[in-house]
Amino acid sequence: MNQQQTPLSHTIDVTRPSVARMHDYFLGGKDNYPADRRACERLLAHAPSAQILAVNNRRFLHRVIRCLIQDHGIRQFLDIGSGLPTKDNVHEIAQHYAPGAKVAYVDHDPMVLAYGRALLEDYRRTDRRIVTVQADLRDPDALLDHPAVTGILDLHRPVAVLYLSVLHCVADRDRPADIVRRTAARLSPGSFVAVSHLVSEDAAVRRTLTDLMAQSTGGQWGAVRRAEDVDRFFTALDILDPGLVDVAAWRADPLMGPRQRTWEWIQYGGVARVP
């Protein structure tokens, strides 16, 4: 992996691992630091599938965007918990299939925002259909009413909200299922919600990996949950085929890419329409 770093290192705490930078490392990115890489190696020792899950989740993102554009005419995307820009970002995928597509990236982590705004600056100079916003996903109303969001997305028209690999960073006390429900309630009919979430049906695995990630990130973590917990995120939404599944199998291409070799956990989720 390319370990060169951006010049922003002096503005952030690079001694504490960040979920976003760990994810960047797993995707082969350059915007991570020794603390992030050490945390990734500790995680891989307990869950050797962790890197493959990150790659397959990114491929799920691509298939979701392609499906929503080609099959449902979606041209607006709200990427909540977007993390660091990397290869094949949402705007790059969406505008490949629909050049006029608009994308609002949302994250609350100031480190992610600093990176995101710097790394997307070249795009924003020429493309006013992209914006990066600082907001807290735990407050859907404030997020959806943010002037930068409403300035680029028309919420009176269908929009796709992406919660990919982020809701496991939300603690149970913050009621992630309610967050999704409240967000969906604000969307126009014909909008879509996509979710991927780390799950395990083994209680010991859930406990071990949740504790490891919480310790590694200084508490910036929620929980590895059960599939049935994630199912509740989709209450009152119309789930698209093939339902809620391991995201590597969601409308998978004939060549699925990297295969998961161990099964401590999976990325679980799907896509649903707002009726």
State the average pLDDT for the chain.
Answer: 90
**Range name among 21-35, 75-89, 102-116, 122-136 with the lowest pLDDT average:** 122-136
Q: Cα–Cα distance between 166 and 79 in angstroms, integer?
A: 10
Query: What's the pLDDT at 102?
Result: 96
Would you place residue 121 in the very low, low, confident or very high pLDDT band (cuts 50, 70, 90)?
low
CB 6 within 8 A of CB 115: yes
Token output for 255? 């060549």
Query: What's the pLDDT at 108?
Result: 85
Give the best-scoring range by mean pLDDT among 6-15, 110-119, 230-239: 230-239
**Rounded percentage of the chain residues whose pLDDT exceeds 70:** 91
Q: Counting beta carbons within 10 angstroms of the beta carbon of residue 136, is it exposed (0 to 12), middle (13 to 18) or buried (19 or more)?
A: middle
Question: Residues 217-242: what's their mean pLDDT?
Answer: 96
Helix, strand, coil content of the chain in percent (nearest 5): 45, 15, 40
Is the pLDDT assigned to residue 2 strictly greater than 50?
no
Among the listed residues 53, 32, 34, the one whose alpha carbon sits nearest the alpha carbon of residue 42: 34
Query: What's the pLDDT at 259?
Result: 80
Query: What's the pLDDT at 126?
Result: 61
Query: What's the pLDDT at 17?
Result: 86
Cα three-residue angle 253-243-141, rounded to 5 degrees: 110
Tens digit of pLDDT for each residue in 68-116? 999 999 999 999 999 887 778 999 999 999 999 999 999 987 777 777 6
CB 158 within 8 A of CB 191: yes
Tens digit of pLDDT for each residue in 57-70? 999 999 999 999 99
CATH top class, domain 7-248+259-273: alpha beta
Is the pLDDT assigned to residue 262 strictly greater than 90?
no
Q: In sequence order, what are the residues at sequence separation of 6 or more whose Cβ sits closer than 8 angstroms to the Cβ of residue 207?
A: none
Is the pLDDT assigned to residue 169 strictly greater than 50?
yes
Q: At what angle are helices 90-97 and 50-72 packed, to 10 degrees?
A: 30
CA atoms within a 13 Å half-sphere pointing along the CA-CB vector of 262:
10
Question: Residues 222-246: what's their mean pLDDT?
Answer: 97
Question: Residues 210-228: what's their mean pLDDT?
Answer: 94
